Structure 1
Amino acid sequence: MRPILIKLGPIPIHGYGLMIAVGFLASIYVLRKLSARSKLDPEKIVDLAFWCLIIGFLGSRILFAITRFNDFASDPVSFLRIWEGGFVFFGGLLAVIPFVMWYFKKYKLPAWKTVDVLSIGVVLSHAFGRLGCFLAGCCHGKPTGSNWGVKFYSDLVEPTLHGINLHPTQLYESCALFLLFFGLLWIFKIKRFDGQVALTYFIIYPIIRSVIEVFRGDVIRGFIIEDVLSTSQFISIFVIIGAVIVLGKKIKKIHIKQ
C-alpha cells in the first residue's frame, strides 16, 4: 500500500491516480489497434473512450455517494476528493450506457461491433484501476490468516483493522481482470458474431466481482442486505441474466441461419 508514490517538489503523485492514467493510456493503445482491425474509425472510438472515462468516473462516484449518503451529506466537499478512492464500478457502467447508445446513433457506429472493442479496453483499464485501489488502500478484504495477507494503514481502512493481515482483494480482482483481458482478446480473434466479446464480458465480470465481494472487508461499498448481498452483487445478478438472455438469442439466430 502506497497512497503517494513519489513527490515532485510540493506535488504528490498519488498511486491511485497514476494507475488510472496508465490504464487509460494502455486501453487507448489497444482500442486503436482493435478499431482498425474491426474497420472502425479509431478517432471516434478514442473520443468515445475519453467521454466514457469522464462519465464513468462521475457515475461510479455518484453511486458510491448514494450508498454512503449520510457521510457525504455531512461533508459534501468530500465528494470531490476522488484521489482517496470511493467508487462503485457498476455505477460508472450504468451511467455510460445511455451516452454510448446516443454516440452510436449520432455517428452511425455498428453497436455490437463497437461494444466488442470497447469492452476489451474497459477490462484493461479496470485491471490497472484495481492496482490503484491496492496502492490507495481502498476496496480491501476481510482479515485472513494466509501468508499473502497484507496490512493496510490507510485512512480508508477502519482503524480496528490497522495492523491486521487482510485479503488483498484488489490484487485478486486485478489478476482476474488481466486474465479476462487476454481471454477476450482471444475471443475477439475467433468470434463468430458481433457482440460475442461484449456479452462474454457482461457474464464473466459480474461473476468475478460477486466472488471477490465474498472476501471484501470494506463496509463503505454498500449493501442491499447487510453482510449478505452487496450493491455490486445485486447489480451483477441482473447484468448476468440480461447478458445470458441476449447471448442465447444471438446463438439461436446463428443456428437458424445454418
Structure 2
Amino acid sequence: MDTAAPPERPRARTPEAVAPAPQSYAPKRSPATSCTDEISQVEPLGLAVTYWGVGGADAEPSHDVAIRFTGSRVEVEGHASTEKVGFDRTLVVKSRPAAGGRFAATTRIQGIASGEWEVSARRIDGGADSSERQQNSVLTARTALLTYGPAVRVWSWPALVAAGAVVALIVQGFLLSRMDANVAAAVAISALSCVLGYIGAKVWYLILHRRPISTFIRAGACIQGFLLVSLGTLVIGGALGGMDVGAVLDATTPGLFLGMAIGRPGCFLAGCCSGRPTRSRWGLFSSDRTLATRRIPVQLYEAAAALLIAGVALAAVLQVDLPVGGLVFLGSIAAYTLVRQGLFLFRVDAHTRRGRLTVSLICCAVLIGVLAASQVLS
C-alpha cells in the first residue's frame, strides 16, 4: 500500500544581515583611580617630549642646538577628526648649553589623542655623537596642564606666591597693631591691592612682551606691574580712609619683601625669569621651560636680597624713631630695584644697558636722599 510522504516541515527563515549602526569613535581612557588620575585626564591632552644631551668640549657656547621631535599614537583603530595622532616638530635652542654640562631640551605637544605614544627625539645639528643622537621612548598623554619638562614644577609658583601674600598680610597686621591705625581697614585694602596687583602684573607682562589681551589668562606676570598697582591701590585707599599713608607704607614694607622672598623661589621652580647657563659650581640645574641645564639661580639671589631688605626694614620699623613716615618704604624699594638692575646682567632676558644704568642712578639718588632726610629730620 502506498503511503503518503510526511509533510515537509517549514524551514526557519534566516534573518537578513543588518549592518551595524555607525558609531563615533571616542579614545579609550584608562579608568581613574584617584584625584590625580582625574586631573591627568582633563582635556586638552598633551605630551612633554625631552631630548637629553651633553654640551660640547669647548669653553664657551658657540652655536644653536636643533632637535627634531616625532611621534605617533600606539595602536590607533580610529580617531576623532579634532585629535592629533602624529606630530613632527623641530626645536631650535638658541646658544648651546654650557660646555660639558648635561642639558634637557623639551617641546610640548597639545591637543592630541589619549593613550600611549611612541616618540623620537633626534639631534639634527650634528653636535652629538651617534650614541646620543637619537632617543626613543613611549609616553602616555595626560592633561596639558601637567606636561612640562625636567626641572619645571609650574604649580609651585602660585602656591608660593599665595603663601607669600598671606605672610605679608600677617606681618603688616602685626606691625599696624603697634601703631594707632585701623588694622582691619588697612589689611582689607592690602588684600584688595594684592588682587589688583596680580592683574597689573599680567597686564605689564602683556605690554612688555607685546602680547594680545586674548592671552591674558595664559600670560606671565611681572613684579613691576604688581608693585605699581598694588602699592598705588594701598596709597589711594589709605588716603581715602584717612590713614597716615607714610606710616602704613612703612608697616607694609617688611611683610612685602618677606612675601617676595617666599614667592620668588616659585619662579625658579616654575621656570620663569631664568638665569644664564653657566659652568660655575654655583650654578643649579633649572629650566626656562624649554632648556634645562646648569644656570645662574638669579631668582634665588633675588629672594635672598628681598629677605635681607625685609630684615633691615623690620628692624627700622621696630627700633628706629623715624621723623617722617614713608622713609623705610622708599629706601627699601630703591634698594630692591637697584639689586634687580644688577641681577638683570645674569638673566637670559637681560634688559637694555642704558635702561639699567638710568634706573640704577635714580635708585642711588633715592637712597642717598632717604639717608640724608633721616639724619637731618631726626
Fold shared by both chains (TM-score > 0.5) = yes
2:182 paired with 1:41:
yes
Residues of 2 paired with 1:240 and 1:188: CA distance? Answer: 22
- 1:154-173 CA deviation, whole Å, 9 max, x = no partner? 43xxx4xx243110111111
Asked if structure 1 preserves the Cα contact closer than 8 Å seen for 2:268 and 2:286, the reply is no
User: Which of 360, 365, 378 is equivalent to 1:241?
Assistant: 365
Bigger relative contact order, structure 1 or 2 (CA pairs below 8 A, ≥6 apart): 1
Q: How many residues align?
A: 230
User: Which of 301, 313, 324 is equivalent to 1:172?
Assistant: 301
- 1:100-127 CA deviation, whole Å, 9 max, x = no partner? 3321221110111111011112111111
Asked if structure 1 preserves the Cα contact closer than 8 Å seen for 2:200 and 2:225, the reply is yes
Residues of 2 paired with 1:112 and 1:243: CA distance? Answer: 17
> 2:227 matched to which residue of 1?
93
Amino acid at match of 1:142: R
> 1:143 matched to which residue of 2?
277
2:202 paired with 1:78:
no
> 1:199 matched to which residue of 2?
330
Asked if structure 1 preserves the Cα contact closer than 8 Å seen for 2:253 and 2:332, the reply is yes
Asked if structure 2 preserves the Cα contact closer than 8 Å seen for 1:145 and 1:165, the reply is yes
Amino acid at match of 1:79: F
- 1:15-72 CA deviation, whole Å, 9 max, x = no partner? 1000011111111221111110123222112112112212221222222211110xx1
Residues of 2 paired with 1:188 and 1:21: CA distance? Answer: 25
Residues of 1 paired with 2:314 and 2:248: CA distance? Answer: 14
Asked if structure 2 preserves the Cα contact closer than 8 Å seen for 1:127 and 1:174, the reply is yes
Indicate how the Cα distance of structure 1 residues 16 and 7 shifts in structure 2: closer, same or farther if over 3 A, else same.
farther
Amino acid at match of 1:10: I
> 2:242 matched to which residue of 1?
108
Residues of 2 paired with 1:145 and 1:211: CA distance? Answer: 20
Alignment of 1:115-134 (within 5 A): 115-134=249-268
Q: Which range moved further: 168-177 or 96-105?
A: 96-105
RMSD: 2.6
User: Which of 286, 304, 317 is equivalent to 1:152?
Assistant: 286
Indicate how the Cα distance of structure 1 residues 8 and 181 shifts in structure 2: closer, same or farther if over 3 A, else same.
farther
> 2:343 matched to which residue of 1?
212
Residues of 1 paired with 2:370 and 2:181: CA distance? Answer: 23
Indicate how the Cα distance of structure 1 residues 249 and 178 shifts in structure 2: closer, same or farther if over 3 A, else same.
closer
Amino acid at match of 1:212: L
Structure 2 counterpart SS, 1:164:
strand
2:377 paired with 1:253:
yes
2:10 paired with 1:10:
no
Asked if structure 2 preserves the Cα contact closer than 8 Å seen for 1:60 and 1:89, the reply is yes
- Structure 1: gaps (5+ residues): 1-5
Q: Comparing both structures, which one devotes a greater share of its residues to helix?
A: 1
2:93 paired with 1:64:
no
Shift in Å at residue 137 of structure 1?
0.7
Q: Comparing both structures, which one devotes a greater share of its residues to strand?
A: 2
Asked if structure 1 preserves the Cα contact closer than 8 Å seen for 2:330 and 2:366, the reply is no
Asked if structure 2 preserves the Cα contact closer than 8 Å seen for 1:203 and 1:244, the reply is no
Percent pairwise identity: 23
> 2:313 matched to which residue of 1?
184
- Structure 2: gaps (5+ residues): 1-34, 41-145, 147-153
TM-score, length-scaled by structure 1? 0.78
Shift in Å at residue 234 of structure 1?
5.1
